[in-house]
Amino acid sequence: MTAAPHTPFVVIAEFRVKPGALDAFLAAARDDARRSLADEPGCRQFDVVVPEAGDSVVFYEVYDSRAAFDAHLETPHLARFRQAFPPLIIEERPVRFAARQHP
């Protein structure tokens, strides 16, 4: 009998950024992404994406498991990001969770 395949845990977060605040928001977001990848063994991917319209930022994060994401929620770099971003945004959209199917 073979074990069930491992399904990575995906997190999609989206923010609408205030006019003129994109550079500051991206600086805080990049710090969180870099530290997540460097310091969290369960973080496999952390993309910071700016759609063409340029007024929003999307995070596409991949973790080994829900537990790995829950550990991310307790990190100092996420605390820094959470402190930095509120004055830079218009809206934080609801976080979406998914199970990656490929690769």
One digit per residue, pLDDT tens: the chain, 103 residues? Answer: 444 457 899 999 999 999 999 999 999 999 999 999 999 999 999 999 999 987 899 999 999 999 999 999 999 999 999 999 999 999 999 999 998 888 7
Q: Is 17 exposed, middle or buried (0-12, 13-18, 19+ CB in 10 A)?
A: buried
- Tell me the sheet residues that pair with 11: 61, 97
Could you tell me the domains of the chain? 9-98 (3.30.70.100)
